[in-house]
């Protein structure tokens, strides 16, 4: 279950109705895919994509996505810091950023056109769609682990446009979920 934190208002939102409604107000779709398939999160990418084919096809129809893949990041991923540095500066894309989290956790910061910056901490079972053009950045939690299905509207895939606003520097890239703390 995702959590939302609004640092400027010193507010944390939890619970699916509250989180879903808040994110919907910013054009962000949030769903829980609790009907997980009988396939381990560590299964090969092709197996996972096949297991979730029905859900992926439904999403493709809804959002015009043409391709899906599995991103797999671990502490020993080569050039991890370089890769994470690309995600963690404020940017936007020409297409939606759609992620279904299979394993691990991560932290999206969203910088809306109006209103304060907020953070969304996602975990396994969370599906999130950040609309094209949304200013955002992304960090992993301290365990540096995430595995997620990604969907793309363009076969060229993920291209960030950096804003160079420096806004990201004002926010701690620290996960805050109680479940995360409890697991450590």
* Least gap, CB of 76 to Fe ion (angstroms): 23
Of residues 139, 133, 131, 134, the one with CA closest to residue 171: 139
* Least gap, CB of 129 to Fe ion (angstroms): 12
DSSP symbols for 20-77: HHHHHTTT-EEEE--S--SS-TTS-HHHHHHHTHHHHHHHHHHHT--EEEEEEE-TTS
Closer to Fe ion by Cβ: residue 57 or 94: 94
Question: One symbol per residue from 58 to 97: x for binding Fe ion (CB under 5 A), - otherwise; what is it?
Answer: ---------------------------------------x
Size of the site for Fe ion (CB under 5 A): 1
The strand pair at 118-123 and 126-130 is best described as unpaired
* Least gap, CB of 160 to Fe ion (angstroms): 6
* Least gap, CB of 170 to Fe ion (angstroms): 18
Reported as type and span, the H/E element at residue 162 is strand 161-162
* Least gap, CB of 44 to Fe ion (angstroms): 25
Report the C-alpha gap between 96 and 134 in whole angstroms.
Answer: 9
Report the C-alpha gap between 171 and 78 in whole angstroms.
Answer: 26
Closer to Fe ion by Cβ: residue 97 or 121: 97
- Give the SS3 label for residue 167: helix
Closer to Fe ion by Cβ: residue 97 or 168: 97
Closer to Fe ion by Cβ: residue 14 or 154: 154
Q: Which residue is nearest to Fe ion (CB)?
A: 97
Closer to Fe ion by Cβ: residue 7 or 131: 131
State both tokens at 109: 């910061």
The strand pair at 29-32 and 135-140 is best described as unpaired
* Contacts (CB under 5 A) with Fe ion, residues 95-124: 97
Binding site for Fe ion (CB under 5 A): 97
């Amino acid at each position: 279950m995702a959590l939302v934190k609004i640092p400027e208002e010193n507010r944390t939102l939890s619970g699916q109705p509250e989180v879903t409604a808040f994110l919907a107000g910013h054009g962000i779709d949030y769903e829980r895919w609790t009907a997980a398939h009988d396939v381990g999160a560590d299964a090969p990418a092709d197996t996972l994509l096949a297991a979730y084919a029905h859900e992926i096809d439904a999403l493709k129809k809804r959002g015009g996505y043409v391709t899906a893949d599995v991103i797999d990041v671990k502490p020993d991923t080569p050039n991890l810091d370089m890769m994470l540095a690309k995600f963690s500066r404020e940017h936007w894309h020409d297409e939606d950023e759609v992620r279904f989290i299979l394993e691990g956790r991560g932290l999206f910061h969203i910088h809306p056109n109006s209103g304060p910056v907020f953070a969304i901490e996602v975990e396994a079972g969370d599906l999130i769609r950040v609309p094209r053009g949304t200013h955002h950045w992304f960090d992993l939690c301290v365990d540096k682990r995430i595995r997620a299905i990604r969907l793309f509207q363009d076969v060229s895939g993920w291209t960030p446009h950096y804003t160079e606003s420096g806004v990201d520097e004002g926010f701690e890239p620290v996960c805050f979920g109680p479940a995360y703390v409890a697991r450590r």
